[in-house]
Amino acid sequence: MKELRLVEPSEVYKDSYMEMYEEWKRSGEEFTPWSLGLDPSDFPALIERLQGYSEGIDVPSNFVESSTYWLIDESLRVLGGVNIRHRLNENLSARGGHIGYGIRPSERRKGYASEQLRLALDIMLEMGITQVLITCDTDNPGSARAILKNGGVLDSEAIDGETGKPFRRYWIHLL
């Protein structure tokens, strides 16, 4: 597999990021994690906003501080991204978990989500998050496989109050 890295958002990746954003939009699929769906038309403003969210600046209500990283390959092509919440609130404990992630539609089924999650867990450990809650829809086998391959232990299944869809809660114990 290609050598992948998680990087902080930066203007260095602008062209490739915009290409990923447009691809995702064309697909009609919801952006996941949510931070990949933020309007990138003013790119410096996007970078500043993401930086702010990681520092607790202008965080939307009912959200917590979170850090977004982009997944890139050796040619600096952006393949996906993760959003790491620094802590859980009531909503995240019940539904959202510590981390959201996604791979751009054209680059799926190549092992990238599994590797992206592994890299994100390294960052989380460095941040001092040792017990990681991850949730995924029960009908999302790709995400579930990536979680299980990274040591996820099934905790419970519940029903999303808004969509009525079942989802599963997993813990990854890093220590």
Distance (Å, whole) CA 115 – CA 172: 15
The tokens for 116 are 């992206």
Q: Which stretch binds ligand COA (CB under 6 A): 16-24, 56-64, 81-89, 144-152?
A: 144-152
- Please, which residue, 5 or 51, has the CB nearer to ligand COA? 5
Burial of 35 (0-12, 13-18, 19+ CB in 10 A): buried
| Interface with ligand COA, residue 93, by CB under 6 A | no
Q: At 42, which amino acid appears?
A: D
Q: At 87, which amino acid appears?
A: R
Q: Which residue has the tokens 């919440």?
A: 85
Q: Which stretch binds ligand COA (CB under 6 A): 40-48, 54-62, 63-71, 99-107?
A: 99-107
3-state secondary structure labels for all residues of 16-40: HHHHHHHHHHHHCCCCCCHHHHCCC
- Please, which residue, 44 or 164, has the CB nearer to ligand COA? 164
CB of 118 to ligand COA, least distance (A): 10
Residue 69 contacts residue 7 (beta carbons within 8 Å): yes
Q: Which stretch binds ligand COA (CB under 6 A): 44-52, 82-90, 112-120, 157-165?
A: 112-120
Among 47, 50, 103, 172, binds ligand COA (CB under 6 A): 103
- Please, which residue, 51 or 140, has the CB nearer to ligand COA? 140
Interface residues toward ligand COA, by CB under 6 A: 32, 100-103, 108-114, 136, 140-143, 145-146, 149
